[in-house]
Amino acid sequence: MRLRTRLALAFALLAVLPLLVVVPLAIRDLRHTLSGELNARTRSSTAAARAALERTSEDVRRAIEELAQSVALEDVAREVRAGGSPQLAGSAERLMKSRGLTVLSLFDSQGTTLSSGHLPARIGDPDEALFSVARAGQRDPVPVLVELRDAHGLRKMPALVTARSMDYGALRIWVVGGVLLDQSMVDHLANLAGAEVRLRIGEDVLATAGTARPPVVTETIALPPVGRIELDYSRAALLDAEQGIVRAFGTLVAIGLALSVLLGLLIARRITRPVEALTSAAREVSQGRLTLKVEERASGEVGELVQAFNRMTADLRTTTEQLVASERVAAWQEVARRLAHEIKNPLTPIQMSLETLLAAKKAQSPRFHALFEESAGAVLEEVERLRRIVDEFSRFARLPRPKLEALDAADLVAQVLALYAAPRPGIALRSELEQGLRVRADRDQLTQVLVNLVKNAEEALGEKGGTITVRARRRDAEVALEVEDDGPGIRPEDRARLFEPYFTTKEGGTGLGLAIAARISQEHGGRLEVGGEPGKGAVFSLLLPVADTRATR
């Protein structure tokens, strides 16, 4: 298949595939969002309806408490104790209307109705449904079925009712009242919740208000034990929105596919040749041909890309040359600075010793011979230090490439430990060697690394002494040669610079020992790591790849 055709198909797929991925996700997220909004609105509206019922309950509770403490009720009690009066029958109705209630009955301590505002014919009879609220001592309003008389006769309606007592001497009067849950309450809840509201007792619907276009989701407010209030919320608007969005996205996908195919054909025709030239040139540049230049003519963004590529290769060539030169100069400057610093330190005591000798000779001091012997020793010591610095530098600069051979790690460590068969007093040398571990390495160079690490551990222990543990063990696909001491450890701020050339924390150290060890580990395909905690010792780990025993047979 030609590149032009592949590009056209690629453009079409790149344009359509995101839509095919995004559209279902967008529809799902939108459905989830719309559904979440509907659910939130449903919960909020239902909560508002519950709050309205709770406010009604609070109003009932407050009205009954005020009535139980009112002077008007004392007047009623006085009439009852006096044997009754014609006004007693209508007292409950007057009190009910004055408190905004729709249910109110006054009872004596035996549950006999003294006066009823909602059902005057109940006077002299018991009303078990209402008086049960007083008998239960329920202070918060509760749902109760109340008997009412209307044009259709006697029927039962739910009401929120509470009870309070009032004692007038030895006489106790119970005030039981509340608010009917009737059509007006259902109308109020329907307007408040924006839903279709039904008041049910069992399976019978007592009142309904509002409308909800199907399909609907139903929330229920329980009114135990008398019934429930059902609120229907329409989901039709959500389904209409989803269908409209699906149609819009479908149209978008079809248009995007057609445009992407057309655009892919047009663009592929213009960019095929210069892109192929750029691809070939980039491949050659990656192989090191920085002098290459693309001669292909192109216009627009592709033309700018060709020009930018040519400028890039030219700049890359120049930058590479400058960088190599700068790195070379910087490396030699750092080496010269470090070496000059290390050599300068011994020159000062040498100069001071010679000046002391010249002054003593000129003054014909009788201590000249003693000063000569003392200064000669100091000069020889500093000259030896200079020689050691030059030797270390020479080893660091001309470290030979390792001569790899298959070595047994435990045997190599044992040979190094044999050099320390008699450590200085106060130092205990222990070994933990796992047998059968083989590495491909240069024996002399690894010996140099291990000797350096053991020597550093011995110097870290100081005069106090301690324990040095040398291990050879397997760690995943590597062999770990570890040298651990229980000395003062390494400060966190020094760890990052431990393997830098000429960095040292020891008095008189050259700072090249660990740098050489790190370089040897790198040239063996491994690494040198430092661990431990300050105050609890240090551990240096030389990690080398496990040797493939099949390659050495």
Whether 347 is covered by a domain: the verdict is yes
CATH number of the structural domain spanning residue 435: 3.30.565.10
CATH number of the structural domain spanning residue 345: 1.10.287
Same domain flag for 419 and 346: no
The predicted pLDDT at position 552 comes to: 42
Same domain flag for 413 and 378: no
pLDDT (tens digit per residue) in 121-147:
889 999 999 999 999 887 899 999 999
Region 113-118: mean pLDDT is: 93
Residue 448, C-beta contacts closer than 8 angstroms, at least 6 positions apart? 516, 517, 520
Instruction: Choose one of 144, 159, 180: the last residue of a domain.
Output: 180
Whether 483 is covered by a domain: the verdict is yes
Q: Spell out a b/e string for 486-499, using b for 16 or more CB atoms within 10 Å of the CB, else e.
A: bbbbbeeeeeeebb
Same domain flag for 378 and 422: no
Between CA 510 and CA 493 the distance in angstroms is: 19
The pTM is what? 0.46
Provide the token pair at 148.
């009412």
pLDDT (tens digit per residue) in 342-396:
666 667 677 777 877 788 878 888 877 787 877 787 778 777 777 776 766 666 5
Is the pLDDT at 201 greater than 70, yes or no?
Answer: yes
Whether 200 is covered by a domain: the verdict is no
Same domain flag for 381 and 435: no
The total number of structural domains that make up the chain: 3
Whether 334 is covered by a domain: the verdict is yes
Q: Which domain holds residue 324?
A: 290-398
Same domain flag for 497 and 360: no
Between CA 51 and CA 221 the distance in angstroms is: 11
Instruction: Choose one of 154, 180, 206: the last residue of a domain.
Output: 180
Whether 152 is covered by a domain: the verdict is yes
Same domain flag for 335 and 411: no
Whether 245 is covered by a domain: the verdict is no
Which of the given ranges, 173-177, 254-258, 537-541, has the highest pLDDT on average? 173-177
CATH number of the structural domain spanning residue 114: 3.30.450.20
pLDDT (tens digit per residue) in 298-346:
667 667 777 787 788 877 777 776 665 565 555 555 566 666 666 666 6
Binning pLDDT at 50, 70 and 90, where does residue 252 land? Answer: confident
Same domain flag for 294 and 347: yes
Instruction: Choose one of 375, 398, 421: the last residue of a domain.
Output: 398
Same domain flag for 104 and 152: yes
Between CA 229 and CA 213 the distance in angstroms is: 19
Point out the least confidently predicted range of 113-117, 240-244, 411-415, 434-438. Answer: 240-244
Point out the least confidently predicted range of 253-257, 379-383, 509-513, 524-528. Answer: 509-513
The predicted pLDDT at position 256 comes to: 74
| Dihedral class, residue 400 (left if φ above 0, else alpha if ψ from -120 to 50, else beta) | beta
